[in-house]
Amino acid sequence: MDLTPRPGVTWRKKATGFVIRQGDDNRYKLLVMQFDGYPDWPFHLPGGGVDEGETPTEAMYRELHEEAGLGRMKLLRKLGVQRYYKHHIKANAERHDYLLLGPADIPEQWAHRVTGQGGDADDIFQYYWIGADEVDRISDELLTFVTPEHIPELFE
């Protein structure tokens, strides 16, 4: 799928949280989500639009709370910014990606009903932790920073 930004198309600012945590085996895993009822779709990560007057970092924390029910976690670093055409919303996206360290007590898997006022309000997302051997199941639009160079913790 062509993700090249389209000229003359509206830009929307977005923010995504890449949450890792260390397991009992001392290996790191990445938090991913699936849309309830669509197990064959690629994995996604919690994130969404940046509201007026909100910084991308604030939006990322808000989206983690709304979409996954997670509280504030330690921000390890900003992974970078992606600019691409997002077919689903028919707009160009400027997505700010952040790496966070999740606490050990986050469940292995859970379902969460989305809160907030966005288009996904009341949707149910299923959450799982995956290792480096499963990153190929993540949606192509989210893979740019899922590399040993950007998230070495996951690939060690």
- The C-alpha atoms of residue 25 and residue 2 are separated, in whole angstroms, by 39
Q: How many CB atoms lie within 10 A of CB 30?
A: 24
pLDDT in tens, 16-41: 999 999 988 899 999 999 988 888 89
Domains of the chain plus CATH, in order, are 11-155 (3.90.79.10)
Q: What confidence score (pLDDT) does residue 78 get?
A: 98
> Three-class SS of residue 72?
coil
Residue 81 has a pLDDT of 97
Confidence of residue 113 (pLDDT cuts 50, 70, 90): very high
Q: What is the mean pLDDT of residues 109-114?
A: 94
- Considering only CA atoms, which of 29, 32, 27 is closest in space to residue 43? 32
The string of pLDDT tens digits covering residues 50-90 is: 999 999 999 999 999 999 999 999 999 999 999 999 988 89
Helical segments of 35-151, H only: 56-68
Global pTM reads: 0.93
**Has residue 133 got a pLDDT over 80?**
yes
Taking residues 106-131, report their average pLDDT: 90
Helix-strand-coil split of the chain, %, nearest 5: 15, 40, 45
The whole-number pLDDT of residue 38 equals 81
